[in-house]
Structure 1
Amino acid sequence: MSAPAQPRRARWHRSLHLRLALCLAGAGVAAMLIHVTLTRWPVPQVLGALGAAAPAPWSAGALGLTMLLVLPIAWGLASLLLMPLRRLLRALESTVLSYRDGEFGSAIAADAPGGLSELSSLMRLHSELGQALREQRRHLAQRELLLDTVVQNTPVALVLTDAQEHIAYANIAARQLMDQGRSLAGRPLGEALAGAPEDLRQALSGTQEGLFSVMLDGQEERFHLSMRDFRLQGQPHRLRLVRRMTKELSRQEVASWKRVIRVISHELNNSLAPISSLAHSGAELSRRGAHERVPGVFASIGERAQHLHGFLAGYARFAKLPAPVPVPVAWQPFVESLGAHYPFTLSGALPAAPGAFDAAQMEQALINLLKNAHESGSAPAQVSLSIQALREDWRIEVGDRGPGMTATQLSQALLPFYSTKRSGSGLGLAIAREIAEAHGGRIAMGNREGGGLWVAISWPRP
C-alpha cells in the first residue's frame, strides 16, 4: 500500500471508531436516564400517587421496558451515523450502472455529507477513476475512427461474414465491387452478389484463394482473393480480402518484356559473336589456303546457328499459338495420355460426357502444369489431377504438396518469362494461360490448405 493511502485509512478508522463510540455512549446514557426515570424518579412517584406499585430497579420488567424504550433511540442514532454512507452507496450504485451502460460522464460531489472526510477521499478517487475511463474511451474512439477511416478508404475490398454467411462488415471498395456502392451490412453474401459478374460470384462464394479474372465494363480485370477464418465475440467469422491486380500485372508484364528482350539480346550476342569470329577465321584460312580446316569452322558456325534457331523457336511457339480447334474428346484416353508424360493421382470420377476442346493444346497446357507440380518438390504420389463438369464450365485442376507460393509470386506467376526456378524459362504457366484464354476460359491458382499449390483451367461448356 502506498504511503498516502495509509493516513487516509487511519483517518477513516479513527473517525468511524469515534462516531461509533459516541453512538454507543449516547445509547448507554439514554438507557441509564430511562432506567432511572422508570425506577427512581419520577415514574415511581407517579405510580405511587395512583396507588400502583413501582417496578423494582433490577427486575426483569424494568430492564425489559428500558431496553424497549432505548431501541428507537439507538436506531435513530445509527441511522444518523449511516446516512452519509447510504447516500454514497446510492450514488455509487448509480454511477456503476452508468459505467455498465458505457456512460462515463456521471460524477459524485466531492463534499461528503455528514462530515465524513473519509467519504470525500473515496469520492475523489471515484471521480479520478471516471476521468481515467473517459480518457481511455476517448482514445479508443479516436483509434477506432482512424482504423475505420483507413479500412474504409483502402483500395483492397474487405468483406467480413458470420457463420451464416451474412455480411457483418464491408468497406467502400467491397460495396462498389459487389453491388455498385450499396450497403451490404446484414445481407446474405449470395444476395449481395446476385448482380455481380459470374466469375466474381464463384470466387467469393468458394473456399479457394488465388487469382481470378472478371469482365468489368468490357475489360478483363484480374483480382487476388485471400481469406482468413477467426472467432469474433465467440462466433466464427470469415474475412475476404480482394485486391485488384490489373495495374500491378500490367507493370509486371512490361518488366517481363524488358527482361525477355535482355535475355534474347544476351543469347543473340552469345551466338552472333562466335559466328562472326568463326566467319572471319574461315575467310582467313581460305585466304591462306588451309582448306582442310574450313569444314570444321563451318560446322561450328552451323552448331551455333542451330542453337540460336532452337532458342528463338521456343519463344516463337509462345508468340504464335494457333487458334484452337475444339472437338469432342473422351476423357479416359486423354487422361491416360497425360499419365504417360508425368504420373499423377486422379481425384474423383471422370465425367461421363465427353469434353470439347483442342486436345493437342490442352494436353500441352496440362503437361506444363504437371511438370511444374513434379518440379515443386512434391512427392509424385501427391501430385493430383481432377476433372469436373460444372453447370456452365469444364474445370481441370492440378495440385501438389510443394512449398506453394507467396502472394507476390502468385501475382506474377502467370506473366511470361517469370519463373521461381533458377533454370526455368517462365513460359509454362504463360502458355497454359494463353491456351485457356484461347478456349474462352481462364486459369486460376492458389495455395492449398495443408501446403502446396493448385492450378485450375476452366472453359465454357458448349
Structure 2
Amino acid sequence: MALKNKPSSRISGISLRTKLVIGSGLATAVGLMLSLSLLLWFAEPAVSQTIVKQFSLLLLIIFGLSICIAIAVSYLFTRHLATSLMALEVGLLNFKDNDFSVSLPVGGDKQLQALAVLFNESAEALRKERQYIYQRELLLDKVIQSSPNVMLLLDDEQRVIYANDAARHLFNQGLRIEGIELDELIEQVADELSAALANPKDGLFSLSAKESDSNGEGEPETWHLSRGQFLLNGQYHHLILLKQMTRELNRQEVAVWKKVIRIISHELNNSVAPIASMVNSGRMLTKDLDDPKLKLIFDTIEDRTSHLSQFIFDYARFAKLPVPKKSQVDWHKLTEQLQQHYRFFLENELPSSTVEFDLIQMEQVLLNLLKNAHESGAAADSISLSIVDTTLADGTEGIYIEVKDQGSGMPPEVLRQALLPFYSTKQSGTGLGLPLCREIIEAHDGRISLQNRDGKGLSVRLWVPK
C-alpha cells in the first residue's frame, strides 16, 4: 500500500500552477504529434518520405518552439491565480494562529474576486466577534477580581489555574497563587479553612478576626464553601467558592432583633401570666359544675398559653444570653448526662486535660446538636461524638468537639443560611437552635463549622479555646 501511494503523494506535492503549466505543454505536444501523424497518414507515400527526410529537423524545431510558447503563455496566464491562492493560504494560516487582521486584494477573475470578498467578510466578522468576546472577558474578569467572594479554579491534579484578588489575599497576602497545589495552600491557612478545603463537600465554618482580617479587629466571620465541577477541553476542572456570610446579617441587625424580641416577650408575658392565673381561678370557681364543655375550654386555653409561654421563652433565651460563667468541666460526667437524653457513641477516649466553660450553656449546645442529629433521619447507633485536644498553627490550645451523623445532610441553600437567626426548614421550628449554639460558642471565643460528610450525613464541629 505504501508503494502504491508513493507516486500520488509526489504528484500531490506539486503546486497547482506547475500542474497547469506542465499540462499545457503536454497538451501542445500531444496535439502536434497527432497533427503530424494525420498529415503523414493521409499524404502520398513519396510525400511522406520526403517530409521525414528533408523537413525532420524543421519539424523538430517547430515542435519544440510550440511547446515552449504554450508553457510560457500558460505560466503568464496562471500568475494571478498563483498569487491569489498563495494569499488565501497565508490568510488561512493567520486564521489558524488566531490572527484575523489580514485581508485579501480583490482582483482577477470573477471566481477569485468572489472568493477574496468572502474571505474578507469572514475576517471582518471574526474580528468583531473576537473584540466582543475580549470585552466580555475583560468585564467578567473585572467583576470576578472585584468580588468579595473567594474564587479558586483547579485542574484535575488539584493545581490552581485561576484565582481572584480575594483568594490571593486570603491565601497568600495578595501574591499570585496560580500554579500552586491546593495541598500547599492548605498548609498556610487556619485549621477551620484547611478542614473545609480538605473535605470534598460543601461546608459552613467560622474564622476568627485575626485569621480573616488583616487588622485583627472585629467579630469572627462565618464563611460558606461550595464546590462545582465541569469538563473543559476534555479535562475536568474544579471550582471552589468561598462566600462570607457574616454580612448577610451583621451584629447590629442581630442586636436590633434581640431588642425587639425582649420588648415583645415582656409585653406577651404581661398578658400570658394573667390569662394563666384566670384559667386557674376559673377552674376553682366552676369545679362543682362538672361541665365537660367548660373543662375543654379551660384545657384549650391552658394548653395554648403554655405553648405561647414556651415560645416566648425560646426567643427570650436567644435575646438574653447571659455572660458565660466558666468552670472546670468533667468530661465523663458531661457525656454521661448527655447520654441520658440522646444516644451516641464516643469515637475516641476523652481528653485528660481540663478546660473551662459555662457547663449549662455548653450542655445546651451539645443537646441541641444531638437532637438535630437524631432528627436528621440517621440511625441512633450511627451518631457519634468526639472530643480531642488540639493546638492551632499560632500555638493557641483548645478543644475540638464534633457531632457526626449519617442522615440526609443539608442542601446547599439550607447550609448557607443555617446559622442565621429565625431561619428554619421545620414546620414548627423557631430558627434559633443553631444560631443560639453559635452565640454560645462565640461567647466562649470559639467557632462553629458545619460540613456535609463525604459519604452521607452532616458533621458539626466546635472549637473552644482552653
Give TM-score scaled by structure 2 length: 0.69
2:205–2:450 CA contact under 8 A, matched in 1 = yes
Find 1:437's aligned residue among 413, 438, 442: 442
Q: What is the alpha-carbon distance in structure 1 between the residues aligned to residue 54 and residue 379 of structure 2?
A: 110
Q: Deviations over 1:215-245 (max 9, x none)?
A: 1223222222222233443334332222222
In the other structure, the counterpart of 2:121 is 128
Indicate yes or no: 2:403 matched with 1:410.
Answer: no
Change in CA separation of 1:366 and 1:277 when aligned onto 2, cut-off 3 Å: closer
Aligned residue number for residue 91 of structure 1: 87
Contact 2:29 2:63 (8 Å CA) reproduced: no
Q: Unaligned stretches of 5+ in structure 2?
A: 1-20, 290-297, 393-397
Deviation, structure 1 residue 176: 3.4
- Which residue number in structure 2 is paired with residue 368 of structure 1? 368
Aligned pairs (5 A) from 1:124-203: 124-189=117-182, 199-203=192-196
For 2:459, the equivalent position in structure 1 comes to 454
Distance 2:415 2:235 in 1: 31
Q: Which amino acid aligns with 1:365?
A: V
Aligned to 2:352: 354
Match status 1:274 vs 2:268 = no
Quick one: structure 1 residues 20 and 335, their matched pair in 2 at CA, closer, same or farther if it must change by over 3 Å? same
Paired residues of 2:245 and 2:416 also in contact (CA < 8 A): yes
State how 1:205-284 maps to structure 2 within 5 Å. 206-208=199-201, 209-215=203-209, 216=213, 217-219=216-218, 220-250=220-250, 253-254=254-255, 256-257=257-258, 260-261=261-262, 264=265, 267-268=268-269, 270-274=271-275
Structure 1 CA distance for aligned equivalents of residues 121 and 309 of structure 2? 84
> 8 Å contact 2:206–2:449 — kept in the other structure?
yes
User: Could you tell which deviates more after superposition, 83-92 or 364-373?
Assistant: 83-92
What CA distance in whole angstroms lies between the structure 2 residues aligned with 1:280 and 1:339? 41
Provide the alpha-carbon RMSD of the alignment.
5.0
**Which amino acid letter does the alignment assign opposite residue 364 of structure 2?**
Q
Residue 97 of structure 1 deviates from its aligned partner by 1.2
* Aligned residue pair count: 415
Tell me the percent identity: 35
1:346-401 deviations in whole A, cap 9, x for unaligned? 6xx41474354456654432221111122234444554445555554543332345
Indicate yes or no: 2:404 matched with 1:399: yes
Query: Counterpart in 1 of 2:331?
Result: 329
Deviates more, 1:169-178 or 1:88-97: 169-178
State the alpha-carbon separation in 1 of the partners of residues 264 and 427 from structure 2: 14
Amino acid at match of 1:369: L
1:25-71: CA deviation from partner (whole Å, max 9, x where unpaired): 866665578889999xxxx99x99xxx982898xxx99999987766
Contact 1:397 1:457 (8 Å CA) reproduced = yes
Matches within 5 A, 1:282-361: 315-316=316-317, 319-320=321-322, 322-327=324-329, 329=331, 338-344=338-344, 349-351=347-349, 353-354=351-352, 356-357=354-355, 361=361
Residues 373-388 of structure 1 aligned to structure 2 (within 5 Å): 373-380=373-380, 383-387=383-387
If asked which structure has higher relative contact order (CA below 8 Å, sep 6+), I would say: 2
Give the C-alpha shift of residue 329 in structure 1. 3.0
- How many angstroms apart in 2 are the aligned matches of 1:405 and 1:310? 27
